[in-house]
Structure 1
Amino acid sequence: MTRARLYVLLDAFERDIRSNLVRYVVSEIGEEQALGESYSRADEKRSREGVNGSGASIADYLDMREGYDLLNINRRFLPSEYADEVRTQTLSLDRLVSIRNRVMHARPLLAGDSDAAVSLLLQFQARNWPELKRMLGQLRADPSWEPLVTAVDDGGFALHNLPLPDYDETGLVGRAKEVSELTGLIKRGREPVLTITGEGGIGKTALAIAVAYEIVDDASRPFDAVLWTSLKHEKLTAGGVVNIAGAARDITGAALPLGAALDAGFEGSIRDLASALEGLDVLVVVDNLETVGGAEFTTLYEQLPDSVSYLITSRIGVGQYERRFPLAPLSKKDSLRLFNDFVRARHIQGLDRISSEARVQVVTRLRNSPLGIRWFALAVEAGNDPVQLIRHQDQLLEFCVRSVYESLEASAREVLSALSILGRSVRVDEFIVLLERSMDYINVGLQELVRGSLVRREGSSSGDLVLQP
């Protein structure tokens, strides 16, 4: 289920909470007594939204947790059956509130959020929750309906300009351990530059977004601001690779969103950005750095204040400044979960009926790549033949490697071409004979290919080289 559909479902439940509170409790003891300590907070929220007087009930400005807690406190005013349900379902509310906050406050969704929310809401008896019943019926009747809603960012503990992730339909699958580890490294603060490295489509951007939101919402306030910029200028769709309009093409262009997060009218240079960040503890997140390379990052790094830390995603890395955080492909189990959840969320006919064995073959042929799995499913949804897509992954492979290939030095291109033509593992001494090049020349090329995740070694660090699958 998409974020928008989850939003209206949770909103319907909240409206039932508030209307039942007014119907059974406020009507008996009055609004101020019924709301208790929540009265002033809700009244302040109503005033901030420019609503005064008797135009709207203050109870309408309670959130899910506040409203439900007030129903529990005042169960003596509720019909006995309803009071029993409110009491027995209290334990379910903790997880439901967490999901609600992620959905409505523009935070990344976790794997399983959608299924968990629906399962928990179905435990509430329909006759006590008319708006919830109506919305469940509407969503079932029209699986393609996408409500027009806007999640409101609650700000967190740090200023930020983070984008919403593009994995709302499934949540972030299989990366909980990596999110925890990388968040810990950033908060420890020993390395000013952390780079998430790995092959194209493996989920580096998704991980960076999830970690950045963890930092924003950290009550210990490790940073005053978390600022995002991206050098991604292409995206892969079911129809192929398309350019992103207005995308930054160099590090100077990438600096503009960083300054604009502090001042909407910012149009200055990197030096101007440095002045704006002076005295602030800031985490700068740079996505897809491989499209411009490490030399341009050096310009940014050397001009911004020492109080700035960096989280980068790149297939290649930036060199001497960084500590690398290599990202491995998803496990087979997590790849299958992503495939199943995505197909179910989008109701993709054809893929929802294939056997378990066929699903394993699909995710294996797609190299357990999150991008590959989504691309394949969307392309099938658009009417493409799944067998041909698996056999001919040209669009996917081009998107994943082109930006890196175009930046390779001549030695790396020669080694890569030899590997591609031979189609087998190759020893280092074979390259010397095949290419008629020196050991130093071959090693320079090999090191660049390994850094770019285009080749991997079999066995020891001095073992044979094979093309990255």
Structure 2
Amino acid sequence: MTFNATRLTCFALISAIETDARAAWIEVQAGHSLQLPENKKSKAADRLAHDRGLGARVADESLVDYLDFADAHELLLANKNLLGPQLLDSLSEVAGRLGAISRTRNRVAHTRPLEIDDLPLLHDVSQTLVRRAPDSWATTQQTLQKVSNDPSSVLGLTIKLPTDPIDEPFHNLPVPDFDETGFLGRAAVLRKIKRYILGSWPAISILGDGGIGKTAIALKAAYDLLDDPKSDFEAIVWVTAKNQALTVNEIERISTSIQNSLGMFSEAARELGATSNTDPIDELLSYMTEFRVLLVLDNLETATDARLREFLREIPRGSKVLMTSRIGVHKENDVKLDPLTFDESRALLLNLAQGRNVKLLQDLDEAGRNSLIEKLKGHPLYIKWVVSGVQAGRRPTDMIASNQLLLDFCMSNVYDGLGKGARRVLQSMQVLRGVRYQGELAFVNDLNATDIQKYLLDLMRSNFVSMTHASGYDSDAGYEVGDFAHQYLAGKQPVQDDFRSRVLSKNERLMELSLRMQRTSAQAIRRYDPLSVDIRDHHDAPAARLLVRAIRETKASHLDRAVQTCAEAHALSPGYYETRRVEGYIQTLRRDYAAARTAYELAVELASGPAKAIALYHLGSFLDVEGVEPWAALAAFSDAARLDPDSCAIFLRIAACQFVLGNYLLTLGSIAALIKKSPTSEQLELAFLLCLRSIVFGSEVALTKGDIAAGLEIIETGLALIQDFSQDRFGSISDDWLIHISDVCTRFSAASVGSSYLQKQTEGLAVIAQSKISRAAESGRVTGLIETLPVDQSYGFIRFRSESLFFHVNDLIDRRDWRQLQLGNLLAFEVEFDPSKGRSRARKVRALL
């Protein structure tokens, strides 16, 4: 096994410190006839047996060679009265870091990944010991000088330290290349990967650009699991299909590399002891069935084929597969590896520069260093490649300006695996830089939702494109080509002029369509119209165009086709609330009320900002149909009003809900709020009629309950509110309602006998009502309730005072009201004597519903 200079330097310093510590103990032991304590003797004997075999025997004094620094430190301090002051001072100085030293020693001795502080810690401890007691730490002093004068002097060393026997799974994990700096950052991602491995997922993939650090974090996770008590793996097998290596000047092919998945399976089976000529996949699955195996497949993008996908479907329970790849393999739990943070990039650059003694990078001022780090994009391989280039005599600016070699290494084999459709979408994203959305990419590439989704998934799996969200905008995912990918494509796959022109032309058409639809939806009068489609930005336009088509299809009674068109729009823009809102409208027309309600509720969930008021309004309108759920409708309208307090449409619907719920004073209050805004003439008419209905029905209910005060309050509030309307525009309709209000006041007066105050109040209200009747004197109109309405007949009878007056459907001013009439409905009419019948009847009948 080959080790790098960092690990070998750590070993050299640990070995030197322990040599000096053992020598100090031997000197104390010899001078005072001390014996090695039994616990230390037993520990050393176990290490001897682990090193040489169970039958090995040595003299007791030779067991000292199997003491580590922690053991020697403990023995010496236990006899501190026998130590010289300098030696005692040096041991006391480093006592607080003894635990850290032991952990570093274990990582070196047991070939575990080094941490970033391991080498600096050993350097500092060594220097402290030598400074405090140079005579006692002579070997350590010599080693420090040797390493300082010639860092390469450690390269010939063989790591061999006395170690305790450990119970660990079989493994063939290689020494990680991050030993040079220690494993940096990504603690949260590392925890997530280990949680997935120990969880229920049989296969986990670590995905990312070439050189982003996938192999490093996979190795770190695997090494951590060797010592994790929660892990029950009996073997951890590492197989890599890495087939090339990046140097400063070229991409070197690895001639012995594994070329396909069958080669990876064969290598894994061989590591587990297979010797037969049977199918390596069957043999590997057999081992993974009998033993709990963690199989790590590294650089899988070079060996992805049908055999691999079949293998992943057959992973036995208890065993797991961890993969690193630039391309997703399907059927696995993905962990996308993002670039390093700025601070992590800075630490990596500085550690490499210091470890390799690259003065140019060490001596950069803060501004220059920060500028360089920004240009390296948090890419670990890019950082290492630039440091190697500077170490070889090149300038950092030259390395960054001429980075095509790095880009080829990271991206070329991934691009070669893309299909024609995915490449076309990728090229369109080269033309239209920045975050782009599924709908607009489908539009400029003339693709349907199914195809654009497939191609974008391919691009994300290849890591050319990443998914992002515009903060605070909406729930639709955007897609963006990464900086590395853009640089690679610009150099190796530039966009042809004719394709660029076509994409830009299509994009211009999309912008024109968007502006036209935005102008339409922005009109206040159409804002809450169910047939108007709200559009937030140009990327909504392709889906909005489909929704307009769906609405046209409903007008042609093609409701099923309209639902399918909505589904296509939703697939293009899954986060666009109007795709659900229009679906709710269409499902209502289809009378599939359960589907309609679900669609409207999903629209509310998707909408944000001003759009949420629209979604809530339409949900409320659906719930308010025929007064089925007026309380839920009222809640939706109230939420919408808080978001859009200037909307007359919302306040009109709130007033209507309050009326249905019998909250007549609140109805009048909502109408009062509405008329202070800027209602249309149609909204004013509806509000005026609702005001009259609230006065009539509210006062009638109060009179029935005998609540005179409440009834008079409703009448007084309503009549005061009528002052704010121009009654001339409503004509005889308002007269009929006011006639009945005047009659109600008369009945209130009769019911108030015994209270002169209430009688005067009702008489005054009756006068006010009469004064607002424009043609009462000449019309002679009165009101009454339907008394009889025979089934399947075209006539009925009205109770007017003590009479029962006949009326026919042809007597209705608006014959469309006939279908709505029920017993007890209020009607306004004129009384006319019918000579042929010898009795009075009703004429010019108006339903006051």
Both proteins in one fold, TM over 0.5? yes
Tell me by how many angstroms 1:155 deviates.
Answer: 6.0
1:53/1:424 Cα in 2 relative to 1: closer, same or farther (>3 Å)? closer
State the superposition RMSD in angstroms. 2.6
> For residue 468 of structure 1, what is the aligned residue in structure 2?
482
Instruction: Give the counterpart of 2:67 among 62, 65, 68.
Output: 62
Question: In structure 1, what residue type is equivalent to 2:482?
Answer: Q
The corresponding residue for 2:293 is 282
Contact 1:157 1:219 in 2 (8 A): no
Q: 2:247 aligns with which of 237, 246, 249?
A: 237
**Structure 1 residue 139 corresponds to structure 2 residue 144:** no
Deviation of residue 449 (structure 1)?
0.6
CA distance in 2, matches of 1:137, 1:266: 53
Q: Tell me, yes or no, if the aligned pair for 2:90 and 2:128 is still in contact at 8 Å.
A: no
Q: Is the 8 A contact 1:255 1:270 kept in 2?
A: yes
| Alpha carbons of structure 1 residues 387 and 85: separation in structure 2 relative to 1, 3 Å | closer
Structure 1 counterpart of 2:10: 6
Residues 214-253 of structure 1, C-alpha deviations (whole Å, 9 max, x = no match): 1011234421111111121112122221112311111121
Equivalent position SS for 1:37: helix
Residue pair 1:103, 1:109 contacting (<8 A) in 2 also: yes
Summarize the Cα distance change of 1:41–1:208 in structure 2 as closer, same or farther, 3 Å threshold.
same
CA contact (8 A) 1:273 1:304 kept: no
SS at match of 1:195: strand
Task: Answer yes or no: is 1:218 the counterpart of 2:232.
Answer: no
Matches within 5 A, 1:174-193: 174-187=185-198, 189-193=199-203
The whole-number CA distance in structure 2 between the counterparts of 1:433 and 1:185 is 38
Contact 1:279-1:307 at 8 Å conserved across structures: no
Q: Partners of 2:274 and 2:314 in 1: how far apart?
A: 21
Does 1:90 find its partner at 2:103?
no
Contact 1:256–1:266 (8 Å) recurs in 2: no
Q: Which residue of structure 2 lines up, in the alignment, with residue 333 of structure 1?
A: 343
Q: 1:71 aligns with which of 55, 72, 76?
A: 76
Residue 205 (structure 1) shift: 0.9
The answer for the alignment partner of 1:407 in structure 2 is 417
What SS does the aligned partner of 1:456 have? strand
Structure 1 CA distance, aligned partners of 2:426 and 2:444?
Answer: 12
Counterparts in 2 of 1:163 and 1:156: CA distance versus 1, 3 Å = farther
In structure 1, the residue matched to 2:551 is none
Please tell me whether residue 418 in structure 1 is matched to residue 428 in structure 2.
Answer: yes
What CA deviation, in whole Å up to 9, does each residue of 1:157-195 have, x standing for no partner?
Answer: 2111111100111111112332233223322x2212222
Alpha-carbon distance between aligned partners in 2 of 1:155 and 1:317, rounded to the nearest angstrom: 37
Task: Report the AA paired with residue 67 of structure 2.
Answer: L
CA drift of 1:197 comes to 1.8
SS in 1 for 2:179: coil
Say if 2:213 and 2:380, in contact at 8 Å, map to a contact too: yes
Equivalent pairs, count? 465
**How far apart, in 2, do the equivalents of 1:248 and 1:315 lie?**
16
The match for 1:38 is 40
Paired AA for residue 109 in structure 1: L
Whole-angstrom CA distance in 2 between matches of 1:19 and 1:376: 45
User: Greater shift after overlay, 363-372 or 63-72?
Assistant: 63-72
Q: How many Å apart are 1:38 and its aligned residue? A: 2.0
> Does structure 1 conserve the Cα–Cα contact (< 8 Å) formed by 2:104 and 2:114?
yes
1:195-214 matched pairs, under 5 angstroms: 195-214=205-224
Aligned identity (percent) is: 29
Q: Which amino acid aligns with 1:149?
A: L
Cα distance change of structure 1 residues 176 and 436 upon mapping to structure 2, 3 Å threshold: closer
Contact 1:256/1:267 (CA < 8 Å) preserved in 2? Answer: no
Map of 1:273 onto structure 2: 284
Q: Residue 228 of structure 1 contacts residue 257 of structure 1 at CA under 8 Å; is this kept in 2?
A: no
Give the match's secondary structure for 1:219: coil
Is 1:49 paired with 2:52? yes
Q: 1:46 to 1:433 in 2, by over 3 A?
A: closer
Shift of 1:21: 1.0
Aligned partner of 2:264 in structure 1 is 254
Change (3 A) 1:27 1:181: farther
Shift of 1:394: 0.7
TM superposition shift of 1:424: 5.3
Give, in angstroms, the shift of residue 265 of structure 1: 5.2
Query: Which residue of structure 2 aligns with residue 104 of structure 1?
Result: 109
Does 149-158 or 200-209 show the bigger shift? 149-158
Partner of 2:553: none
Check 1:63–1:221 CA distance in 2 against 1; reply closer, same or farther (3 A cut). Answer: farther
Quick one: structure 1 residues 445 and 302, their matched pair in 2 at CA, closer, same or farther if it must change by over 3 Å? closer
Do the aligned residues in 1 keep the contact of 2:115 with 2:182 (CA within 8 Å)? yes
427-436 or 13-22, which deviates more: 427-436
| Offset from partner CA, 1:113-170 (integer Å, 9 cap, x none) | 2212212222212232111111111111223433323346976521111111001111
| Structure 2 counterpart of 1:123, from 119, 124, 128 | 128
1:195–1:314 contact (8 Å) kept in structure 2: yes
Gaps of at least 5 residues in structure 1 are none
Say which is worse superposed, 207-216 or 103-112, in terms of deviation.
Answer: 103-112
CA distance in 1, matches of 2:94, 2:72: 14
| Residue pair 2:327, 2:461 contacting (<8 A) in 1 also | yes
What's the CA shift string for 1:6-43, capped at 9, x where partnerless? Answer: 2101110011111111111255335xx32421213323
SS in 2 for 1:57: helix
Q: In proportion to residue count, which structure has more helix?
A: 2
Work out whether residues 241 and 300 of structure 2, in 8 Å CA contact, stay in contact via their aligned partners in 1.
yes
Q: Distance in 2 between matches of 1:417 and 1:107?
A: 44
Could you tell me which amino acid in structure 1 is paired with residue 400 of structure 2? I
Q: Residue 34 of structure 1 aligns to a residue in which SS?
A: coil
* Counterpart contact for 2:233–2:294, Cα < 8 Å: yes
> Does the aligned pair in 1 maintain the 2:274–2:283 contact within 8 Å?
no
TM-score by length of 1: 0.91
CA deviations on 1:49-107 (whole Å, 9 max, x unpaired) are 27655598210112222222222223333224423432443221111111121123211
Cα contact 2:107–2:114 (8 A) shared by 1: yes
Higher normalized contact order (CA 8 Å, seq sep 6+, divided by chain length): 1
Q: Which residue of 1 aligns with 2:21?
A: 17
